[in-house]
Structure 1
Amino acid sequence: MAGVSALAYGIQLPVQSQSTLYTEPWEAAAGPEDLVAVARAADAAGFAYVAACDHVGVPHRLAAAMSTVWYDPVATLAHLAAVTERVRLLSHVAVVGLRHPLLTAKQYATLDHLSGGRLLLGVGAGHVREEFEALGVDFGRRGAVLDETMDALRAALGPDEFPEHHGTHYDFAGLGQRPRPSQPHVPLWVGGSSPAAVRRAALKGDGWLPQGDPRERLAEGIARIRRLREEAGLDGPYTVGALSGPLYVGRPAWDVGRRTLAGAPERIAASLREYRALGVGQVQVRFRSRSRAELIEQIGVFGAEVAPRLD
């Protein structure tokens, strides 16, 4: 975790997940063409990645808040890979413990191969008990399952055509999988801000995806990750992420909410540069918008006027 030289920026795509916590009203009637247009705009504006979430199913008790609109991340990112050129493709996050790691590896290795090596595999433990129960996975042991799944994925997404893993939950060898990923090393970023998630991110991940922690708490998490990695003798490349609050570049002509940081490009950039000073390498930004056109406009002006001020 050497000093951060430049602050990259990415975006969680609209439409593909529609939790009431962040979805804009226009997304309810949106569809694939809107998703493609936004991904292309992010690609053109220099965004480091576009991201998609993962839920197999949402139970009735959570549907009012979470909605049941959650596109499959592999299908979504593969579709967007074909209509973009350079932007990377992040699962934020894939609940990989719900699936056998050989199945996950087959899907994401193919995605990386088809996209020319643009995959960023974000993983997390998951939080919806009913998903685990429906798929026959022990919800109470999801942390331990994720730990081993990451080990298995390291093997299954590595260079070997016949990957091998022998563990408590999974045991496989002698099964060839091609195509292999285009990248020699698929980055595994770990999502979550619990003590267990931070430890997992430090010791097993290539990066950390916190859950919108306040900056003071984010600083504590970064310090803990540094300490854990130093104690374990880990010194390879590592990416710390952050989630910005809602943004609006320029003077809004509508009520964007008191939590939204709005104003001139330099004001937005100055706020985001504070993350860089903490040791953050990439920040996931979110824009308030009333339409696809307004969101694309915000993406474009951010890339043209805010991004150059981030260094």
Structure 2
Amino acid sequence: MQLPIQSQSTIYAEPWEAGAGAEDLAEIARTADRTGFTYLASCDHVAIPRRLAGAMSTVWYDPVATLSFLAGITERVLLLSHVAVVGLRHPLVTAKQYATLDHLSGGRVVLGVGAGHVREEFEALGVDFAARGAVLDETIDALRAALGQEEYPEFTGERFSFSDLGQRPRPARQQIPLWVGGSSPAALRRAAVRGDGWLPQGDPRSELPAQIARLKALREEAGIIEPIEIGTIAEPLYVGDASWEVGRRTLTGKPSALAESLRAYAAMGVRQIQVRFRSRSRAELTDQMAAFAADVAPHLNS
């Protein structure tokens, strides 16, 4: 699941999150760790321009700091950046951050990356917004080199080149998984030829089968035989019968009905589902998480 509190866009944030903080975030992470969630995810924005602040808010925690904080109070749940706008930073800086986090967490990092969409962020940091797709492609290639096990990684590209520069600690695993976020044609191609996983951004169910078929075709054309982790973001959920208005798009009702609905994703080729729960407080959210883990999740692979 994507963590609440750490990003508070009006598209998905619940009212109670505005007054929440580190203690709430910690309890949600402990609940996810205890009840068997696969990963916790944190978003990435450096700064929000005033023109977008009304919709996006300016509350966007730094993903490395947030996931590091949660790594220290959890034991098994994976730590995902969903997504890091890695083109805003030199790949050696990103590699240093996420390799250290993977080392300290015992190999629990998944690096999710995306192109970004806020022009002012790129301009403030001196990065060409119009070329962000090409920058991301090269950054991914550079990160492949920098996040392996070589103490002195080497890479030569159009924008970035490095050699004879040592970076330790190395990641705890042989290679940190790299998932590509986005649903545009460019993002889909990037995921197919450069990613270990694909994180679509809000694709309707009706469009997912065609997108997945295209992803697999692009991967086959590129001669890549390794499997790719395909995910999706499910509709908002509420386990049980809500006594309040949870929204027209929310999937709600008995656990068996929710499981049946979510299993349809597996038939499309999806292998992991990012979930979000409607809630009016931290306690209601953690109760929803526990109910989902106990009563819905066991039926998803059946």
TM-score higher than 0.5: yes
Give, as a single letter, the amino acid of the residue that structure 2 aligns with 1:261. L
Residue 81, structure 1, aligned to residue 71, structure 2:
yes
Residue 13, structure 1, aligned to residue 7, structure 2:
no
Instruction: Give the secondary structure class of the aligned counterpart of 1:57.
Output: coil
Give, as a single letter, the amino acid of the residue that structure 2 aligns with 1:255. E
- Shift of the alpha carbon at 1:91? 0.2
Give, as a single letter, the amino acid of the residue that structure 1 aligns with 2:226. G
**Larger relative contact order (Cα-Cα within 8 Å, sequence gap ≥ 6):** 1
Aligned twin of 1:108: 98
Give, as a single letter, the amino acid of the residue that structure 1 aligns with 2:44. D
Aligned twin of 2:232: 242
Aligned twin of 1:298: 288
Residue 276, structure 1, aligned to residue 276, structure 2:
no
* In 1: Cα distance, 2:55 partner to 2:237 partner: 22
* In 2: Cα distance, 1:49 partner to 1:196 partner: 26
Q: Deviations over 1:140-160 (max 9, x none)?
A: 000000000000000000110
Residue 42, structure 1, aligned to residue 32, structure 2:
yes
Instruction: Give the secondary structure class of the aligned counterpart of 2:148.
Output: coil
- Shift of the alpha carbon at 1:258? 1.3
- Shift of the alpha carbon at 1:219? 1.0
Aligned twin of 1:90: 80
Residue 158, structure 1, aligned to residue 132, structure 2:
no
Aligned twin of 1:117: 107
- Shift of the alpha carbon at 1:231? 1.3
Q: Deviations over 1:5-40 (max 9, x none)?
A: xxxxxx000000000000000000000000000011
* In 1: Cα distance, 2:104 partner to 2:262 partner: 33
* In 2: Cα distance, 1:183 partner to 1:275 partner: 29
- Shift of the alpha carbon at 1:236? 1.1
Instruction: Give the secondary structure class of the aligned counterpart of 2:212.
Output: helix
TM-score (norm 1): 0.96
Aligned twin of 1:126: 116
Give, as a single letter, the amino acid of the residue that structure 2 aligns with 1:199. R
Aligned twin of 1:5: none
* In 2: Cα distance, 1:229 partner to 1:67 partner: 37
Q: Which aligned pairs between 1:139-150 and structure 2 lie closer than 5 A?
A: 139-150=129-140
* In 2: Cα distance, 1:120 partner to 1:276 partner: 21
* In 1: Cα distance, 2:134 partner to 2:108 partner: 28
Aligned twin of 2:211: 221
Please tell me the root mean square deviation across aligned C-alpha atoms, in Å. 0.5
Give, as a single letter, the amino acid of the residue that structure 2 aligns with 1:231. E
* In 2: Cα distance, 1:235 partner to 1:264 partner: 40
Q: Deviations over 1:241-260 (max 9, x none)?
A: 10011100001111111111
Aligned twin of 1:194: 184
Q: Which aligned pairs between 1:21-32 and structure 2 lie closer than 5 A?
A: 21-32=11-22
Where does structure 1 differ by over 4 angstroms across 4 or more consecutive aligned residues? Answer: none
Give, as a single letter, the amino acid of the residue that structure 1 aligns with 2:46. V
Aligned twin of 1:69: 59
Give, as a single letter, the amino acid of the residue that structure 2 aligns with 1:215. R
Q: Which runs of 5+ in 2 are unaligned?
A: none
Q: Deviations over 1:118-148 (max 9, x none)?
A: 0010000000000000000000000000000
| 1:232 aligned residue (215, 222, 240) | 222
* In 2: Cα distance, 1:74 partner to 1:208 partner: 20
* In 2: Cα distance, 1:180 partner to 1:278 partner: 36
* In 1: Cα distance, 2:103 partner to 2:149 partner: 13
- Shift of the alpha carbon at 1:216? 2.0
Count, aligned residues = 301
| 1:33 aligned residue (14, 23, 47) | 23
- Shift of the alpha carbon at 1:217? 1.2
* In 1: Cα distance, 2:265 partner to 2:35 partner: 21
- Shift of the alpha carbon at 1:287? 0.3
| 2:173 aligned residue (179, 183, 190) | 183
Instruction: Give the secondary structure class of the aligned counterpart of 1:286.
Output: coil
* In 2: Cα distance, 1:172 partner to 1:75 partner: 26
- Shift of the alpha carbon at 1:100? 0.1
- Shift of the alpha carbon at 1:237? 3.0
Aligned twin of 1:204: 194
